[in-house]
Amino acid sequence: MSSSSSPCAACKLLRRKCTQGCVFAPYFPPDQPAKFANVHKVFGASNVTKLLNDLQPEQREDAVNSLAYEAEARLRDPVYGCVAYISILQLRIKQVQHQMAGLQVQQHPHHHQQMVNAQNMAAAVEVAREQDMDRMLRARHAAYAAHANAATVAVEAPGSLNADTFDGGPFLLQQQPPSSAQTEPAMALPYLMEPSPPQPSSGHSHDECIGRRFYY
Per-residue pLDDT tens for 171-211?
444 445 554 444 445 454 454 455 555 555 545 554 554 44
Range of the domain at 50: 9-76
**Distance (Å, whole) CA 51 – CA 72:** 18
pTM for the whole structure: 0.43
Residue 51 is assigned to a structural domain of this protein? yes
How many domains in the chain? 1
Residue 91 is assigned to a structural domain of this protein? no
Bigger pLDDT: 105 vs 182? 105
Residue 32 is assigned to a structural domain of this protein? yes
Average pLDDT over all residues of the chain: 74
Residue 188 is assigned to a structural domain of this protein? no
Bigger pLDDT: 118 vs 91? 91
Bigger pLDDT: 76 vs 106? 76
Residue 2: half-sphere exposure toward Cβ, Cα within 13 Å: 16
Residue 145 is assigned to a structural domain of this protein? no
**Are the beta carbons of 169 and 196 closer than 8 angstroms?**
no
Residue 116 is assigned to a structural domain of this protein? no
Cα Rg of the chain, angstroms: 54
Whole-number pLDDT of residue 62: 95
Per-residue pLDDT tens for 87-103?
999 999 999 998 888 88
Per-residue pLDDT tens for 135-167?
877 877 777 777 777 766 554 444 444 544 444
Residue 1: pLDDT band (50, 70, 90) is low
Per-residue pLDDT tens for 34-81?
999 999 999 999 999 999 999 999 999 999 999 999 999 999 999 988
Residue 203 is assigned to a structural domain of this protein? no
Per-residue pLDDT tens for 44-53?
999 999 999 9
Whole-number pLDDT of residue 3: 47
Residue 196 is assigned to a structural domain of this protein? no
Whole-number pLDDT of residue 67: 95
- CB within 8 Å of 210: residues ≥ 6 apart: 192, 193, 195
